Amino acid sequence: MRLKIKWNDDRVRAATTAILLLSRDRLARGKTGNAVASVLAEYREDPDAFKARKAAWPDAKDLGPLTNPAHLAYYRNLLAAVDALLRKMEQNKRQSNSLLELDNYLVASLGDVR
């Protein structure tokens, strides 16, 4: 039986939230470069550690931890891109057959955010 991950699945929302929160954390620490792919790899590697850290972090839309204007602009663009992607996935009723396929789609869709 194939695994179906629909557009409204919690795993889609969890992955996009992880992208936002981990990207913001990395930007706040001054780390940049290939954020989406490396953040998803970090999240998939240890989702329980992410959940523990997530509880201490502010909401994903909170820009407070970012002070560098370039990082702030990138994160705002990432927020807008994630929101647009989630709307597009819902509108198209997009499904994935595996977590790898979902991750590849997210990387391809969000990897060019600047």
- Under the banding of pLDDT at 50, 70 and 90, the label for residue 1 is very low
Domain enclosing residue 88, as ranges: 5-110
pLDDT digits (tens, 9 = 90+) for 15-63: 999 999 999 999 999 887 777 999 999 999 999 999 899 988 999 999 9
pLDDT at 104: 95
Distances in Å between the alpha carbon of 1 and those of 10, 92, 96, 97, 98?
20, 23, 13, 10, 11
pTM: 0.92
User: How far is C-alpha 16 from the chain's CA centre?
Assistant: 3
Q: How many domains does the chain have?
A: 1
**pLDDT digit string, tens, across residues 82-94:** 999 999 999 999 9
- Across 93-113, b (16+ Cβ under 10 Å) vs e yields ebbbeeeeebbebbbebbeeb
In contact, 110 and 82? CB cutoff 8 Å:
yes
Spatial neighbors of 53 by CB under 8 A, at least 6 apart, are 25
